[in-house]
Structure 1
Amino acid sequence: MQHLEEQIAHLTRTVEELNSVVTNQQSEIDRLTRRVEMLLQREAERAQEGSGGVVFGDERPPHY
């Protein structure tokens, strides 16, 4: 009987630790999702303004 109680205690602690990990991961996923949405919105606004172009170092500007 004592062996079963020890196993239950161990499993309970493991479940609590896993719950903590999953909760932290979900918080991080939520935070990253908000940031991606913000970046997508910002990029969409830049594309609408027409200033979304990127100039690379080896590229000449269009006015040349």
Structure 2
Amino acid sequence: MRRNPFALLVTPSDGAPVATHLPVVFPARLGRRGAAGALPSDVRARVRDDVGGELADLMLRYDGPPAPR
């Protein structure tokens, strides 16, 4: 099984940013940055469980191979 190349880079309210590779659907209308509160509650709960804390903010990050030119 391949790892999801997109990571949610989240900042717990009490720590440094953490990347999580949970297979979550990131709402396109949010763009690449947004307040964690804008995520659907089930996604917020899964990410919170994964990073072990409340979320302050988030950013979508691509960690996959470079795009072909």
Instruction: Compute the TM-score of the two structures, normalised by the length of structure 2.
Output: 0.20
Normalized per residue, which structure has more strand?
Answer: 2
Task: Name the one with the larger helix percent.
Answer: 1
Higher Rg: 1
Considering Cα pairs closer than 8 Å and 6+ residues apart, tell me whether 1 or 2 has the greater RCO: 2
What's the TM-score, normalizing by structure 1? 0.21
